[in-house]
Chains A and B, each alone.
Chain A
Amino acid sequence: MVEPILQVRDLVKHFAGNRPGEIIHAVNKVSFDLNPGETLGLVGESGSGKSTIGRCVVRLYRPTAGSIRFGDRDISTISEGQMRPLRKEIQIVFQDPYSALNPRMKVGNLIGELVKLHSDLDAPARRERVTALAARVHLNADLLTRYPNELSGGQLQRVCIARALATNPKVIVLDEPTSSLDLSVRAGILELLGELQRETGVAMLFISHDLETVQLVSHRILVLYLGSVVEDGPAEAVFAKPAHPYAQALLSADLPPDPDVVLDRQILQGEVPGPVHLPPGCPFAPRCPLSREDCTRAMPPLASVGANHHAACVRIADGTNDIRSAHASTGGDIHKKFQDQFVRRTT
C-alpha cells in the first residue's frame, strides 16, 4: 500500500461575496488522496471549484475548514512562514504563462530565481542547474537570455514548468496548463509532463475543463459540481461508465474530434446555479432529470459503483441512476425547474 503524498479531507473554502454578509461557497467538503507518481484529474465546469482546490493545496488560499495533509503534516492552517520551506515541495503551474512570468526578468533568471530561493548553490552551480532544467523541458538554451515577450506561449509554458521543477517538488498542481495553447503546441506540453512524471515520480493534480486532455493524462478522475465531488474513480472507469447523472451528462457533452464517433448526448437544461445560495441537498438536483424528493434533503454520500469508483447519488442504491432512462418522461418538469431556478437567481 502506497502512502498518499497528499490527503485532503472535508476541504471547505468560502469567499466573501460582493454584498455584505454574502458567502460564496466555492468548495464544499471535498476529500481526495494523491499518490506519488500519480496524476489526478479534476474536471468540472466553471464555478465547480477546481481551481480553488488547487490553490488551497498550494496554500495560496487558506482553507475555511478541513485538512490538507502533505506527508505527515497538516498544512491547512499553518502560517505563511511555516509554509515557505514547504513550497519547494508543492509547486503550481498556471493557465496563462504570459501573466505568470515577470515580464522584466530574463527567462534564465526566472528559472534561476527558484533555484536561488530554495537551494544554497553558488552562482556557477545555479547557472548549470538552470541550463539543465531548460534542457529537461526542451527549451533551447539561447532562449535563457531572452525576455518573456520574445517567446511563444508554448515556450513560456515550458519556462513555467521548468520553474515548477526547479525545486524537485513532490506535488505539482497544474491549473489548466494547456488551455491557452494551440492544439499542436498543447500536445508537446502534455508529452513533456508525462515524461517528467515518469522520470521524477512527481504527483500531479491536473485541473482542466478539457475532458479529452484529462482523459489522456490522468490516472484517476474527480468530477466536481458546484464545489462538491460527485464522482471519483480510475480514469478508464469514469470515462467508460460514469455513474453520477451529472458526470454522465458532462461526459456525453464532450465532442471528440472524430466525425465517425456517434454522439449520445444527454443535454442538460439550464446552467450551473450561482455558488451563493447553494441548492439544498445534492447540488445537482435542480438540473437533474432524475431528481426525486429525497435529493434535496441532504448531500448523498459517495457510494461505491466499482473498484475504487464512487459516485454521490441516491439512485445508485437501486440502480436507477442512468439518465438515458429519464429524459423522455420528465421533459416538461425539467423546464419548469429550470425557470424556477432562474427566478431564484435573479430576484
Chain B
Amino acid sequence: MSLLEVRNLHTHFVSHDLNNRSRIAKGLNGVSFEVDKGEIVGIVGETGAGKSLTAMSIMGLLQPPARIVEGSVRFDGNELVGLGVDDLNRIRGTELTMIVQSPLTSLDPLSRVGKQLVRAQREHRNMSSDAAWRAGADMLATVGIPDAERRMRAWPHELSGGMAQRILIALALINGPRMLIADEPTTGLDVTVQAQILDLLKNLVRDRDMAAMIITHDLGVVAHYCTRMCVMFAGSIIEMGPVRQVFNDPRHPYTQALISSTPKRIAEKGYSQIGGPPPNLYDLPEGCHYRDRCSRAADLCRTTPPLKNVGGNHVAMCHFADKEAADGTVTSHG
C-alpha cells in the first residue's frame, strides 16, 4: 500500500448562468496515482491542466464552486474525501502538508515568523511556547536560514522571495510530516536560489524518508529532482512513469510534443508546432481530450483511450501508446 493513493478523482466546478442553467467545468476527470515513501513525484502540464487542482483536492482545500464529485484519496489507508474539517485538520498540517505558490503572499503579514512557527506547532501538539520557539528556530536553521534566532523575529515583509519560500518549507516541515506537496515551489525564484531550495527538498525527503509531490511546469525540475512523473492534460493524467523512461521514450503525443518544445530539443531537431488552445473544460470533446490538437488522431480516438502499460510502470493514455509513432519520432503538425 502506498502512502498516498488517489483513485479516479473527479473535481468539478458547478456554477449557474444567468438563466439558472447549471454549467459544469470538469476540472479533474478521473485522476489516479500514488506516491510512496522516499520518492518525489513530479506533476507537469500546461496552465489549466489541473495540477494545482489535484493538490487542492487532496488537501481538502477546495472552495465552492469546486467540489469532488467522485473518487477517493487515501492517505496511509485513511479516506480523506468526505472527512469533516476537524478530522481533516488532524492530518493536514501535521502528517500531510503543503507548500503553496507565491511565498510572499502566503505568510500571515501581521505575525512575526517565529509566532507563525509556534502557532503551527501548538495547533497540533501540546507543548510550551518556549519549546515550540526553540523547535522553530532549529527548523529555520535546518532549512538553511542563517542567524535563525534573529529571523524568528522578522516580519514577512522583510523577507526576500527565497527566504520566504524557506520559511514556508519550515512551516510545512515543523510538525514532521510524512508527505509534502509543493505547488510550484520555485516559480518566481532566481535559478541560483531555485537550486538551493530544490536541493533542500531533495535532502529532506531522503533524510526523513518522506514522500513528496512537486507540481511544476518546469521540465528541468522534474528531470533532475523527481523519481516519477505524471503529465496532465485537461484534467487527466495522460502519461505516468519513471522520469527517465518518460523523457527518453514518451508515448503520448502530448508528452512527445511537450518534450520536443524544450529549447534543447528545438536546437537539435528544429521546431515542431504543437501549441493550441487547451480544450474547453465546459465542453470536453468525446473520447480523447487531446484529439483536436493531435496529428495522429483517428476515428478510434472518439472513444476514451485506455491507460496502456508500455513497460515497467510506464503508462500512457493513448490508443496508439504501444505502437511506434508514425515517423518513429515526435509528430509535428504540417
Contacts and interface: CB of A to CB of B under 8 A. Distances in A.
Interface stretch (B17-25, B110-118, B170-178, B214-222): B214-222
Nearest to B243: A259
Interface in B58-75: none
Interface residues of B, number: 45
Given A256-B264, A257-B220, A271-B162, A183 B191 contact: no
B149 interface: no
Contact of A258 (B154, B217, B264): B264
B209 interface: no
B171 to A, nearest CB: 20
A183 B192 contact: no
A188 B196 CA distance: 32
Interface stretch (A78-86, A208-216, A312-320): A208-216
A216 B162 contact: no
Contacts of A154: 275
A184 B199 contact: no
Given A213-B263, A260-B244, A260-B248, A271 B163 contact: yes
A261 B275 CA distance: 26
A256 B264 CA distance: 8
Contacts of A45: 190-193
B248 A46 contact: no
B82 interface: no
Given A182-B46, A259-B243, A335 B146 contact: yes
A137 to B, nearest CB: 13
B47 interface: yes
Given A250-B192, A260-B248, A338-B146, A184 B257 contact: yes
Interface string B80-102: 00000000000000000000000
A308 interface: no
Contacts of A209: 190-191
A193 B209 CA distance: 47
- Secondary structure class of chain B's binding surface, majority of residues: helix
Contact of B191 (A184, A213, A253): A253
Interface in A159-214: 182-188, 190-191, 209, 211-213
A257 B225 CA distance: 11
A152 interface: yes
Contacts of A188: 271, 273-275
A283 to B, nearest CB: 14
Contacts of A114: none
Contacts of A271: 160, 162-163, 190, 193
A253 B221 CA distance: 11
B244 A216 contact: no
Contact of A249 (B47, B192, B257, B263): B192
Interface in A29-68: 45-46
Interface string B197-223: 001000000000000000001111111
A102 interface: no
A326 B193 CA distance: 20
A184 B192 contact: no
A19 to B, nearest CB: 15
26 contacts: A45-B192, A46-B190, A154-B275, A182-B46, A182-B217, A183-B261, A183-B262, A184-B257, A184-B261, A188-B275, A190-B263, A212-B262, A212-B263, A250-B191, A250-B192, A253-B191, A253-B194, A255-B191, A255-B195, A256-B223, A257-B218, A257-B220, A259-B223, A335-B146, A339-B147, A346-B154
